[in-house]
Amino acid sequence: MIEEVVRTGLARYEYRHFIIFGAVSQFAAMATECAGDQGAWWEFHDAYLLDAQARSFTRAGAIELARDEGLDLARFTQCIDDEEHRERLLQMQIQARADGVSGTPTFRINGAPAARSLSGIIDQVQAAAEAAETAENSEGG
Amino acid sequence: MMLKLGLIVAAAGLLLAACSSGGDDPQPAPEAATSSAQSDAQEEQAATSYRAGQSESTAGTETERENEEAAQPSAAPADRGSEDTEQSAEQSAQPSSEQATAQSEAEPAADAEPEQQAMVGQIIETGHRAGLFANRNSVGDPDAAIVITEYSDFL
**Domains of chain A by residue range:** 10-102, 107-141
* Pairing mode of beta strands B146-152, A106-109: antiparallel
Residue A104 sits at the chain B interface (C-beta within 8 Å): yes
Q: Which residue has the higher pLDDT, B17 or B41?
A: B17
The model's pTM is 0.55
Q: Cis peptide leading into B73, omega within 30 of 0?
A: no
State yes or no: pLDDT of B43 exceeds 50. no
Pick the residue from chain B with its C-alpha nearest to A101: B151
Rg, Å, chain A Cα set:
18
pLDDT attached to residue A7 = 85
Residue B112 sits at the chain A interface (C-beta within 8 Å): no
Cα–Cα dist B142/A12, whole Å? 7
pLDDT attached to residue A94 = 94
Mean of the per-residue pLDDT values of chain B: 51
Cα–Cα dist A37/A14, whole Å? 17
CB atoms within 10 A of CB A121: 21
Pick the residue from chain A with its C-alpha nearest to B113: A52
With vertex at residue A72, the alpha carbon angle to CA A67 and CA A75, rounded to the nearest 5 degrees, is 120
pLDDT attached to residue B133 = 79
Residue B115 sits at the chain A interface (C-beta within 8 Å): no
Model pLDDT for residues B50-63, shown as the tens digit of each residue: 333 333 333 334 44
Q: Picking from A86-90, B9-13, B30-34, which range would have the lowest pLDDT averaged per residue? A: B30-34
Model pLDDT for residues B98-149, shown as the tens digit of each residue: 444 334 333 434 444 555 444 444 444 544 566 777 788 999 888 898 999 9
Residues of chain A with pLDDT under 50: none
Q: List the one residue out of B92, A93, B149 whose CA is nearest residue B139.
A: B149
